[in-house]
Each structure stands twice: as structure tokens, then as C-alpha cells.
Amino acid sequence: METPKTPTPIEHRIREGLSRLDSVLRSEDWVRARAAGLNPTQHAILEYLMGRAEGAAVRDIAFQLGVSQPTATESIAALERKSLVVKHASTVDKRAVDVCLTEAGSAAVMTGDPAPGALEQAAGKLSDSDKEHLLMTLVTMIKRLQDAGAIPIQRMCVSCRHFRPYAHAGAAKPHHCAFVNAAFGQRDLRIECRDHSMADPSLQAATWGAFHKG
């Protein structure tokens, strides 16, 4: 078949590119999960629970992982049998249960080769400005997906009530984290921060506006 003279829309080719990266991630996830004696879904649940001392509801875990609630429930039951997670009554809703990591569960997440995988190594070969640009693009894409309801709100700086974008305009480290009371640069933006505290919707909108304007 003749190669078409015009390529498919750029959005389609971006998706193709991301899917190639996803296949590398999936294969690395398999290796790390196997090292811990788990399957990738079980391992991803333990990773999600890391740094969430209060635990998480089954439906939130399922939404985060992009799996059905029955699949999440089944994986959580397997983790419970291995004593890697425990369930307890939710502090928010007494009728609900939250799933929490045990000490053995934390240890299982840390099992495996801590060396950077192929994707991190490839990212390491980008120039500093390309890395920063890519991080910004990822933050923006994640924000758009959150707004569309395709993924849950992530613990990123841009949705955190401690984030003060461009509080130090013109400085090498223009942003400020009120939690640790320190300036930080564009390249230090978090995608997953344990100290994240959700800003209310109006503050999130104002923060995003200030961040993008800057």
C-alpha cells in the first residue's frame, strides 16, 4: 500500500508516541511487580497507597488505576491475604472502609531494582530545557484530563493549596511552596507529592490561571 502523502493528525501521532512509551512502562512494571511477588495491578495499588497514611477508598483506587471496582476489590483481597494491606472504617464515612498499607506492604513496594528504567534513562539524555518543557507539557496534559474527568485529581503542585506560582517572579526559582516555606523552580514541579493538600475549586482555578499567565 502506498504511504499517504499527508500524515494523520498530530494529536493521533502524539497518541501513537505515548502508546509506545506506555509499552515500555508496562514492561518495567511487570519486572518490578514480579520482584515483589505481585502482579502489576497489586503492585500499583501498593504504590498508590504509599504516603497516604489515611488510606484510600476502593472506588478511588479503582479510578486511579483505571480498572473496574470488582478488579480492584479482587486485587485488594489478594493483598490483604498477604498482609500487605489492611482495611479499617473510613474516618470520613463510617459505613465505608479505607484500605491502608502495612509495614510489609511498604517494604514490598521498595523491593526490586531501584536503578532508573529505560524510560528514565532516555529522559536523562534530554537537554535540561527539553526536560523542563516535557514536564510542563505533562502537567498541562494531566490537568486537562482531570478537568475532563478522565482521571482523578493528582497530587500535583498546581492543585495544591500551598502552591504560590510566580511568587518570586523573575527569579531562577519563581514558585513558592508555603508548606515548606521555600522557593522552587519550574523543573521541581511535583506530579505526586505526599504533602499535597487539595485547594478548593476556586483557588485551583486562580492558581492555574496565575501559573499559565506566568
What residues line the site for ligand SF4 (CB under 6 A)? 157, 160, 162-163, 177, 179, 190, 193, 195-196
Tell me the DSSP string of 51-96: T-TT-EEHHHHHHHHT--HHHHHHHHHHHHHTTSEEEEE-SS-TTS
User: How far does CA 71 lie from the centroid of its chain?
Assistant: 20
> To the nearest whole angstrom, how small is the minimum distance from the Cβ of residue 198 to ligand SF4?
10
Closest to ligand SF4 by CB, 35 vs 145, is 145
Closest to ligand SF4 by CB, 97 vs 153, is 153
> To the nearest whole angstrom, how small is the minimum distance from the Cβ of residue 163 to ligand SF4?
4
Closest to ligand SF4 by CB, 42 vs 207, is 207
> To the nearest whole angstrom, how small is the minimum distance from the Cβ of residue 190 to ligand SF4?
5
Q: Where are the beta strands (DSSP E) in the chain?
A: 56-57, 85-89, 97-101, 163-164, 175-177, 182-184
> To the nearest whole angstrom, how small is the minimum distance from the Cβ of residue 117 to ligand SF4?
24
Task: Supply the DSSP symbol for 185.
Answer: -
Q: How far apart are CA 60 and CA 62, in angstroms?
A: 5
Q: How far apart are CA 59 and CA 16, in angstroms?
A: 29
Helix (H) or strand (E) holding 10: helix 10-35
> To the nearest whole angstrom, how small is the minimum distance from the Cβ of residue 151 to ligand SF4?
17
Closest to ligand SF4 by CB, 37 vs 209, is 209
Closest to ligand SF4 by CB, 21 vs 178, is 178
